Chain A
Amino acid sequence: MSVLVNKDSKVIVQGFTGSEGTFHAGQMIEYGTNVVGGVTPGKGGQTHLDKPVFNTVAAAVEETGADVSIIFVPPAFAADAIMEAANAGIKVIVCITEGIPVKDMIYVQEYLNGMDCTLIGPNCPGVITAGEAKVGIMPGFVFKTGKVGIVSKSGTLTYEAADQVAKAGLGITTAIGIGGDPIIGTTTKEAVELLMNDPETEGIVMIGEIGGNLEANAAKWIKENGTKPVVGFIAGETAPKGRTMGHAGAIVGGADDTAEAKKRIMRECGIHVVDSPAHIGQKMAEVLGVTA
């Protein structure tokens, strides 16, 4: 078991023949991901990385039965690419693209409303189910197979957490990078819920940052519905108010979206919050009663 993607996922790559798409599709294939083809409008009929290229997502779905798509399309065209994937019946859409205008994402969110699909991202590292499928840009070797799920807004901080978890004698089921933009398809709460319902996942690492209230919402849900221990960290304790820290969504607006406020709420909801990002793995081992 796993969530979102597994060895049976049939994955297509939108923006397949571009430099990003080519590089990361190659890495995904090397990891063992079942990449069945790609989409680049105007290049349909060609073969790229030994896989078929299609003009449209609809054609790719029809020919290959693809159910997962990963998007490497430039920001100006990414919203369109997400909607095309949803329209073609793709069930899990992972959008890596950084820098999509907020207005475009408001429309995307509205378009996806009520459709039977899950959007991960945008501006995210993707999703990886250890040992089965890598649908993202993360270094696969860091994600050793195991029993801990990760939900995170950040890329490299996710790799950091996965590495610590592995070194603590544990490993990963699925890691979900939800993305650092103000509007994202899957929230922290939704990603945590997926992992709570996954029988193979025994503990969850939840990594957030300043800005918005996704972590607080997830914490409240965990308090009511949680069945597994959750270790939490919020980056940006030292970030100044009113400045965007790299991620478009990482900005302290009010009193409730500081790192301190979020950590307080998470603690009140029974999450094992660490103040130091160096203690994520150790804390997870401790709450699961594992010694490295």
Chain B
Amino acid sequence: MNLHEYQGKSILKSFGVAIQEGVVVDKVEDAVAKAKELTASTGTEWYVVKAQIHAGGRGKGTVEETGSRGVVLAKGIDKVEETVKGILGGHLTTLQTNGVGKRVNKVLIAEDVYYPGESEPSEFYMSVLMDRDKGRNIIMYSTEGGMDIETVAEETPHLIFKEEVDPRVGLQGFQARKIAFNLGLSGKAFKEMTKFVAALYAAYEGCDASMFEINPVLKTSDDKIIAVDSKVTLDDNALFRHKDYAEMRDKTEEDPTEVEAGEAGLNFVKLDGNVGCMVNGAGLAMATMDIIKMSGGNPANFLDVGGTADAERVEKAFQIILKDENVKAILINIFGGIVRCDRVAQGVVDAYKNMGNIPVPIIVRLQGTNAVEAKKLIDDSGLNVHSAVQLQEAADLVKEILA
């Protein structure tokens, strides 16, 4: 589950990680009062207004309606309302929004932390994630903060460091010190960084995260170390331990059809193609998408109906697939094991009848337990359904129908 910047920061703060403080606003009229509250605790009257959407590149993104950037500095309380107005309620397009503007329902008004002082501020990159090769968590960090880390990895890979954490003992002091040294810090900033790293790792473990990305981590001009941004992804499988975090889910950031499918127990991912598919099992579902492509079509979705493909589920799956107007055909591919194919076939027939008219041709491939009975059921139904037993036959039918 992905979180907004402000939500991620609230979790970090609860574990003692120093953050850039801020207040969240969802109405323009609240902006000034909230900003004043912030000033009362921080002292600064310069603010950074940040759009809260689940996508990176906000600073360089554009709000369609106003032309504003997604992250804007407001140099004074008198600039706050105007700045918020330029972002809140608009649609923000960034390099990561796939060409579609995302509606900004909330903005974070944060303290400006790039104030001048005894030393120059400097930005670092830091993330925590699991190294799949080793099955262990690592802290990945770089002196090149504030930039896209993929660019850093490509252009200056020697500036990216990794520190592996032994799960038996957790992050050790020497590791935090190594990180602070590698980032070129000394004195107060060095100490602050070791504290920051220790708290950050504790937060990662404590909240069952699957990824933390803090970019930038800032050394301020008075040598504090703080998280200026936060990208936090939590492990969905561990949300049962964290009911409070589970409530942070923002469904408006997700595809509404995917949300609906999830509520019906279907695992669905929307894609851009013209052939819908309904499959039992994730691996077979991906393989079915691939076979659609090889047959001259493009998959319109990933859909795993799971272990109980009964009439109700099949009908729901049909409804979800048919919401997409680009769908020209639907391929149902079920390998019946514990699930009996004739039950699934009956489900298809019933769903078809319940829904009145399904406007696109359907190819049903049922293999495994009671496949023969299932094929007969489909063939005798008189519906516009093509049946297949072998996977290759199904592929050929897709090709034929699209031709």
Partner of B130, one of A106, A153, A163, A246: A106
Per-residue contact bits, chain B 287-320, to A (CB 8 Å; 1 contact, 0 not):
1111111100011001010000000000000000
Closest to B240 in A: A76
A101 CA to B267 CA, complexed, in Å: 18
Shortest distance between the CB of B282 and any CB in chain A (Å) = 3
B residues contacting the other copy or chain, number (CB 8 A): 51
| Nearest chain B CB to A208 CB, angstrom units | 9
Against B, the Cβ 8 Å flags (1 = close, 0 = not) of A8-29 are: 0000000000000001000100
Q: Are A213 and B283 in contact (CB under 8 A)?
A: no
Across the interface, which residues of B come within 8 angstroms of A138, CB to CB? 337
Q: Are B290 and A236 in contact (CB under 8 A)?
A: yes
Select B281's contact among A75, A76, A139, A157, beta carbons within 8 Å: A157
Determine whether the beta carbon of B282 is less than 8 Å from that of A103.
Answer: no
**A142-B337, A156-B337 are known contacts. Are A276 and B237 too (CB-CB below 8 A)?**
no
A141 CA / B369 CA spacing, docked (Å): 9
Per the bound structure, the CA–CA distance linking A27 and B288 in Å amounts to 28
User: In the bound complex, do residue A105 and residue B135 qualify as a contact, i.e. CB atoms below 8 Å apart?
Assistant: yes
Inter-chain contacts of B299 with A (CB < 8 A): 238
Assess whether A160 is in contact with B133, with CB atoms less than 8 Å apart. no
Listed stretches B213-221, B377-385, B387-395; interface member: B387-395
Tell me, in angstroms, the Cα distance from A276 to B167 when the chains sit together: 41
A137 at the interface (CB under 8 A from B): yes
Interface presence of B323 (CB below 8 A): no
**Can you list 30 A-B pairs with a CB-CB distance of less than 8 A?**
A101-B237, A101-B238, A101-B241, A102-B208, A102-B210, A102-B237, A103-B238, A104-B238, A106-B137, A138-B337, A153-B283, A155-B281, A156-B280, A156-B284, A163-B368, A183-B135, A207-B283, A235-B286, A236-B289, A238-B299, A240-B271, A245-B269, A245-B286, A245-B302, A246-B267, A247-B283, A250-B282, A275-B294, A276-B395, A277-B291
Chain B residues within an 8 Å CB radius of A27: 338
CB distance from B133 to the nearest CB of A (A): 7
Please give, as numbers and ranges, the residues of chain A lying within 8 Å of B243 by CB-CB distance. none
Q: Which residues from 148 to 203 on chain A have a C-beta closer than 8 Å to any C-beta of chain B?
A: 152-160, 163-164, 180, 182-183
**Residues of A in contact with B, size category:** 35 or more
In the complex the two chains form, is A237's CB within 8 Å of B284's CB?
Answer: no
Cβ of B335 within 8 Å of any chain A Cβ, yes or no, is yes
- B276 at interface by CB-CB < 8 Å: no
Which residues of B sit under 8 angstroms from A152, Cβ to Cβ? 283
B237, B267, B288, B369: the one contacting A100 at CB < 8 Å is B237
What separation, in Å, do the CA atoms of A141 and B238 have in the docked complex?
36
A163→B368 CA distance, assembly (Å): 8
Which residues between 210 and 238 of chain A lie within 8 Å of chain B, taking CB atoms?
210, 212-213, 233, 235-238
> Which among A107, A180, A212, A239 has the highest number of chain B CB atoms within 10 Å?
A239
**Interface members, chain B 313-368 (any A CB < 8 Å):** 335-338, 367-368
Those 5 A-B pairs whose CB atoms lie nearest each other, nearest first: A154-B283, A246-B282, A156-B281, A139-B337, A101-B238
